[in-house]
Structure 1
Amino acid sequence: MSRPLRVAVVGAGPAGIYAADILTNQHPEASVDVIERLPAPYGLVRYGVAPDHPRIKEIIKALRRALGKPGVRLIGNVDYGRDLKLEELRQFYDAVIFATGATEDRDLDVPGVDLPGSHGAADFVSWYTGHPDVPREWPLDAQQVAVIGAGNVALDVARMLAKPVAEQMTTEIPANVAAGLAANQATDIHVFARRGPASIKFSPMELRELSHSPSVDVHVTEEGFQVDDAGQAAIAASKGTRLVVDTLLKYLEAEPTGAPHRIHIHMCQAPVEITGDGRVEGLRTERTELQGDGTAKGTGEFIDWPVQAVYRAVGYRSTNLADIPFDDANGVVPNEGGRVLDLDGIQVPGVYVTGWVKRGPVGLIGHTKSDASETITHLLEDLDALPAPARPEPSAILEHLAAGGTQPFLWEDWERLDAHEISLGEAEGRERVKVVDREEMLRRSKA
């Protein structure tokens, strides 16, 4: 018989849930508690995917099966670093896996970045996905908007700003988001990429979806549509890159339909300053020129764009965790194959990472699964050396939380909240309507 194993996974997004699923599949005597700070599971799949992308959210069905299986227990509404510390977790678990992801915006180091009207894309995404810990209102009074970035988050932001709210009322957006989008004044959204079409990180499907709204025209600016030797090689090597370039070409050649909202994609434009007196009044970019090796160099030619809001979609970043080493330069927990290392490069016993906090915010769901598999393999290799917890019984952690005044959110609570959100959606002919307020989430989960 294999050794009984108690493991805590901190973070109930895909990375954490896959780690729990793989561990319980590979080690029948393992039991896993997935500890989540929100009163809802699924992480960025729930709070990072645009509401008009139901196909992407199909992954929730797989996550639900994994999180609801025997041997896996959800303990939500518990904030690591506040409600629990590492030394406390060690009392109850043989090992701890951190899967806290990357939820903050990466810095953009240009003058004017702190002006009112300059927004982090992650904050906007949290607002329109109904995250319980962000303000309920969002300023949407700008007619001309800049989005800085060349990834799918930039496309999501641009599409959410361009698409009329009437076209989004089949989705799960809550009432406050619908009201905010109804007041949106944006007519032109300008998306800026530093390099050319072969370097853009859009997925082909998301790029094609920009034109699915009859209220939105997509324009690609001919100037900056450069493909160098490295770009040609990327197109030849990757079907995805080829499809992105082909789609951009179609937008470049398309005739305007006269739609009331427009998304403009500008390539080889690097942001150098957000301008304005007291608030955002413009964005200054520098034209860049491809160097043949995939890099771009500034030309010294600058353009001022009269925009009233700027969204910075230049990537996500993980945040440091209490009592855990953190590589601030790279925004990850230092590790070797998921084994956490201290500042001297020595393995920290019984502590592991997986997902974006392990490798940085790159890759898709498939990468998350392979990440988790690698981490679990190394954890099981270390099994005999793991220090046994003093209080391994499953009830001990719940008793500890209750003694500290923390009300945990369990799987049966999620099932009640889930059913309530679905019922709200049914009343409006939608699949679901999210509950936004944290206290209401907790109240509905106990009803």
Structure 2
Amino acid sequence: MKTPAQTAHATPFRVAVVGAGPSGCYAAQALRKGQPDIEIAVFDSLPTPFGLVRYGIAPDHQGAKAVSRQFERVFGQPGVEFVGNVSIGIDIGFESLLENFHAVVLATGLGADRQLDIDLDPDARVVGAGDLVRLLNSDPDARLRHRRAGLESLGAEVVILGTGNVAVDVARLLSKSDLDFIASDVDDDALRAVAPSPVRTIHILGRCQSHLAKWDASMVKELAQVVGVQVSVDGTPLLREPARSPRTTVNVRFQQVPTSIRRHDGRIRVTTHRTGDRDLVDHLDADTVITALGFDSSSAQLAQFAGLEASNVFRVGGPATGRLGNLAENRKLAADTAKGVLAFLRGQEPRHRPGLDGLRSRLPASTVSFQAWQRIDDAEIRRARPDRCRTKFTTRDGLLAAAAGSDALPPIPLATAGPPATQEK
């Protein structure tokens, strides 16, 4: 008698992955490696795949973004489909996935920056680091892009709360000159709106002691090596030969616990106390506060899936851990999840599930396939501004027009916001 695994070719397993970010793509990759004939449909609410690889990794870190080439090879395989611009729970009900697939993997990520739980003036200018990075990466859904007041300059002096890699990313992006973004895919218009020139002073505040900071030492070294940037940690310059007349000064201070953020004399005052000593209070004034404290694991994005505990529903990445790890962590967790999915499937009696074919008639007309994504990709590379590797579309309409192969794509003017910042010698 044949086992379920032996009958896989006659009755292929069909798996839906909700989320085409790194965790979802790594999960699809691992599933195909473990069971080459498995059929996979990867859904995403955005018209583009790759999630935080495209919109979360800093735009000047193209080497890290190159992991998307691995994922492209997965989507290029027969039996693996990208289903973009489709929201599960809105366009397609979750129950429909359970009816049409043998298993479902939730890889939706975490979309919202973690909120501060301190005394916070509602009129104070506080920006989430994740929101800012997504804006500079041309995410069409970036919250800052859709502010009623429009994009505003962050000012000459900012405070960043948090000592992880995202905090360093933000400090680096805000302190670079135009020449430092050569070969990147930064959204020049957004960057020049929020930082018309490199920010003059950046304060990075962390609650922990310096040796407990969550950032990679290489990231801090990279920041310190940006021409025209001087970094000090608790008052001590990080490099032996600090920059002369630095364009941007980055002051890192540890053991600073924020207690309030209030408007003060037209600016923003951050009040902190020393870790372990509430009587040692300090005040720091700036134009904007940027929070880099991680992401919210209780967001509405995950709430719709909170009660789904069926045996054939699996979670990976943010929905599983409540945090966004780096690419290496995502890959390992996805591989472990894929093993669990395959063990579950192979332990079941083979049952017919139509997979994506059972849903095609219900998919929106604006659904984006992988082939349509490739048209977007080609169009963004063709329209690249000088010294940029691509210029992304910043609206869903632009993305969908490119996906359809439209000849009437929105024009891309040269970025203009005054003279570009010069590179110091």
Question: After TM superposition, is the score higher than 0.5?
Answer: yes
Task: Please name the residue that 1:413 is paired with.
Answer: 372
Measure how far apart 1:116 and its partner are.
Answer: 3.4
Residues 1:389 and 1:124: Cα distance change in structure 2 (over 3 Å): farther
Task: Please name the residue that 1:422 is paired with.
Answer: 381
Residue 186 of structure 2 is aligned with which of 166, 173, 178? 173
In structure 2, distance between residues paired with 1:210 and 1:176: 23
The residue type equivalent to 1:214 in the other structure is V
Task: Please name the residue that 1:313 is paired with.
Answer: 292
Q: Is the 8 A contact 1:99 1:353 kept in 2?
A: yes
Matched, 1:324 2:309: no
Measure how far apart 1:388 and its partner are.
Answer: 7.3
Residues 1:23 and 1:113: Cα distance change in structure 2 (over 3 Å): farther
In structure 1, distance between residues paired with 2:257 and 2:265: 23
Q: Is the 8 A contact 1:145 1:310 kept in 2?
A: yes
In structure 2, distance between residues paired with 1:94 and 1:254: 61
In structure 2, distance between residues paired with 1:386 and 1:324: 24
Task: Please name the residue that 1:18 is paired with.
Answer: 26
Q: Map 1:356-435 to 2 at 5 A.
A: 356-383=318-345, 392=354, 394-401=356-363, 405-425=364-384, 428-435=386-393
In structure 2, distance between residues paired with 1:286 and 1:78: 47
Measure how far apart 1:377 and its partner are.
Answer: 1.6
Ranges of 4+ aligned residues in structure 1 off by more than 6 Å:
387-390
In structure 2, distance between residues paired with 1:323 and 1:59: 30
Measure how far apart 1:275 and its partner are.
Answer: 1.7
Q: Is the 8 A contact 2:15 2:355 kept in 1?
A: no
Q: Secondary structure at the match of 1:317?
A: coil
Q: Is the 8 A contact 2:102 2:312 kept in 1?
A: yes
Measure how far apart 1:363 and its partner are.
Answer: 3.2
The residue type equivalent to 2:178 in the other structure is V
Task: Please name the residue that 2:226 is paired with.
Answer: 213
Q: Is the 8 A contact 2:109 2:324 kept in 1?
A: no
Measure how far apart 1:176 and its partner are.
Answer: 2.2
Task: Please name the residue that 1:130 is paired with.
Answer: 138
In structure 1, distance between residues paired with 2:93 and 2:315: 16
Q: Secondary structure at the match of 1:376?
A: helix
- TM-score under structure 2 length normalisation: 0.85
Q: Is the 8 A contact 2:228 2:243 kept in 1?
A: no
Q: Is the 8 A contact 2:174 2:195 kept in 1?
A: no
Task: Please name the residue that 1:230 is paired with.
Answer: none
Q: Is the 8 A contact 1:122 1:313 kept in 2?
A: yes
The CA deviation string for residues 384-426 of structure 1, in whole angstroms up to 9 with x for no partner, is 566977750543322121xxx452110001111101111112x
In structure 2, distance between residues paired with 1:76 and 1:409: 5
Matched, 1:73 2:35: no
Q: Map 1:75-90 to 2 at 5 A.
A: 75-90=83-98
Q: Map 1:124-203 to 2 at 5 A.
A: 124-134=132-142, 135-136=144-145, 137-181=150-194, 183-184=196-197, 186-203=199-216
Residue 273 of structure 2 is aligned with which of 264, 286, 306? 286
Q: Relative contact order: is structure 1 or structure 2 higher (C-alpha 8 Å, sep ≥ 6)?
A: 2
Task: Please name the residue that 1:436 is paired with.
Answer: 394
Measure how far apart 1:317 and its partner are.
Answer: 2.3
Residue 274 of structure 1 is aligned with which of 240, 261, 269? 261
> For structure 1, which runs of at least 5 residues remain unmatched after alignment?
223-248, 289-296, 327-339, 342-347
Task: Please name the residue that 1:257 is paired with.
Answer: 244
The CA deviation string for residues 200-242 of structure 1, in whole angstroms up to 9 with x for no partner, is 11112211111232222112224xxxxxxxxxxxxxxxxxxxx
In structure 1, distance between residues paired with 2:382 and 2:342: 42
In structure 2, distance between residues paired with 1:280 and 1:390: 63
Aligned residues: 390
The residue type equivalent to 1:34 in the other structure is V
Q: Secondary structure at the match of 1:217?
A: strand
In structure 1, distance between residues paired with 2:82 and 2:51: 13
Measure how far apart 1:131 and its partner are.
Answer: 0.5
Measure how far apart 1:17 and its partner are.
Answer: 0.7
Identity %: 29
In structure 2, distance between residues paired with 1:394 and 1:306: 55
Greater Cα offset, 81-90 or 14-23: 81-90
In structure 1, distance between residues paired with 2:230 and 2:266: 28
Q: Is the 8 A contact 2:14 2:39 kept in 1?
A: yes
Q: Secondary structure at the match of 1:395?
A: helix
Task: Please name the residue that 1:240 is paired with.
Answer: none
- TM-score under structure 1 length normalisation: 0.81
In structure 2, distance between residues paired with 1:221 and 1:179: 30
